[in-house]
């Protein structure tokens, strides 16, 4: 199968880039399944029903949300109405929605998508993502009824994300980090066939501080005092993520290529 994951869509700039480029990318790369993280799509904070519908209409098959999942209160009810949106497995005690789901894909294939939050350097004391994903993936065995397994580890620390790649190698087709909004240069296929990249990067304007206009974050770093609300930078976004090709028989990755299109970052796409 041909899979693509795109990292955190940030604000209007990120949304516009998804709307403008995803339909063409989907066709050109002959993608079977596309996952987009939209946790910062609504002015940097969460995602609304309308924005999620627009991202799905542009060519996403599933949307993931991270620590900002419920910043927009309407998502608390909407996530139970739209099964294509996933929140982290370990975000709360009794959250609405689901953190893993198995989706139908072309040619009768089935794709599992799961997302979990890391704990290292995160603001909230989330439950252990290793045991959460261990239990979740038992319901979606790779090569045993599920043709591809795509896992987002939404976390700050590269150490925790690399450890998760090792933990799920052999059980996932892709383990990709999100949350730091900067793509890492370590795309690889692990020993048992799991494609891995520590962070996908964001779909947002890189002429910024992780997608936000520089003024307020810079002021907070310099003065140590909060001031105005953060607002997303408005320049052209770079779409960032990973492309993965899997073996149809085993679900293991045979190719992984970073995706970077548009905006300020150097472009990267599969041939």
Supply the minimum distance, in Å, between the C-beta of residue 202 and Fe ion: 7
Helix 129-137 and helix 158-168: axis angle, to 10°? 30
Among 179, 180, 238, 239, binds Fe ion (CB under 5 A): 179
- For Fe ion, the closer of residues 64 and 173 by Cβ is 64
For the beta sheet containing 62-64, the strands, ordered from the edge strand earlier in sequence to the opposite edge, are 85-86, 62-64, 33-37, 2-6, 239-246, 253-261
Please say which residue, 40 or 48, places its beta carbon nearer to Fe ion.
40
Judged by CB under 5 A, the chain residues 188 through 247 that form the site for Fe ion are: none
Q: Identify residues 111-150 at the interface with Fe ion (CB under 5 A).
A: none
- 177 interacts with Fe ion by CB under 5 A: no
CA dihedral 83, 148, 241, 175 (to 10 degrees): 100
Q: How many helices (H) and strands (E) does the chain have?
A: 6, 12
Tokens of 259: 């995706």
The total of other beta-carbon atoms located within 10 Å of residue 216's CB is 16
| Nearest distance from C-beta of residue 113 to Fe ion, angstroms | 17
The tokens describing 150, both together, are 């795509």
Among 8, 61, 169, 199, binds Fe ion (CB under 5 A): 8
Least Cβ distance, residue 60 to Fe ion (angstroms): 16
Q: Of 177 and 193, which CB lies nearer to Fe ion in the complex structure? A: 177
DSSP characters over 103-126: EE-GGG-EEEEEEEE--TT-SS--
User: Could you confirm whether 154 is annotated as catalytic?
Assistant: no
User: Least distance from C-beta 98 to Fe ion, angstroms?
Assistant: 18
Rounded distance between C-alpha atoms, residue 51 and residue 57, angstroms: 10
Residue of 68, 154, 179, 181 marked active site:
68
Q: How far apart are CA 245 and CA 2, in angstroms?
A: 5
* CB nearer Fe ion, residue 68 or residue 78: 68
Binding residue for Fe ion (CB under 5 A) from 61, 67, 169, 199?
67
Shortest distance in whole angstroms from residue 68 CB to Fe ion: 6
Rg, Å, the chain Cα set: 17
Nearer to Fe ion, 47 or 253 (CB): 47
- Kindly determine how many residues on this chain lie close enough to bind Fe ion according to the rule CB under 5 A: 6
The catalytic residue positions are 68
Q: Which residues would be at the binding site for Fe ion (CB under 5 A)?
A: 8, 39-40, 66-67, 179
């Amino acid at each position: 199968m041909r899979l693509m994951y795109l990292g955190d869509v940030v604000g209007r700039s990120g949304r516009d880039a998804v709307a403008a480029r995803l339909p063409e990318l989907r066709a050109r790369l002959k993608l079977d399944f596309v996952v987009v993280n939209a946790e910062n799509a609504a002015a940097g904070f969460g995602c609304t029903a309308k924005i999620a519908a627009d991202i799905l209409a542009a060519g996403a098959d599933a949307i993931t949300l991270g620590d900002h999942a419920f910043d927009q209160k309407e998502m608390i009810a909407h996530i139970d109405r739209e099964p294509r949106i996933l929140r982290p497995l370990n975000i709360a005690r009794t959250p609405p929605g689901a953190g893993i789901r198995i989706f139908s894909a072309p040619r009768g294939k089935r794709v599992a998508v799961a997302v979990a939050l890391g704990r290292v350097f995160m603001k909230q004391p989330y439950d252990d993502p290793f045991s959460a994903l261990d239990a979740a993936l038992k319901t979606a065995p790779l090569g045993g009824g599920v043709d591809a397994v795509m896992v987002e580890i939404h976390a700050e620390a590269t150490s925790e994300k690399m450890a998760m790649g090792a933990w799920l190698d052999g059980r996932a087709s892709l383990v990709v980090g999100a949350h730091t909004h900067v793509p890492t240069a370590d795309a690889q296929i692990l020993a048992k066939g799991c494609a891995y990249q520590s962070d996908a990067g964001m779909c947002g304007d890189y002429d910024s501080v992780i997608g936000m206009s520089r003024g307020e974050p810079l002021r907070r770093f310099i003065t140590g005092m909060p001031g105005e609300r953060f607002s997303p930078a408005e320049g052209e976004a770079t779409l960032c993520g990973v492309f993965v090709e899997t073996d149809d028989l085993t679900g293991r990755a045979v190719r992984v290529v970073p995706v970077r299109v548009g905006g300020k970052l150097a472009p990267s796409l599969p041939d």
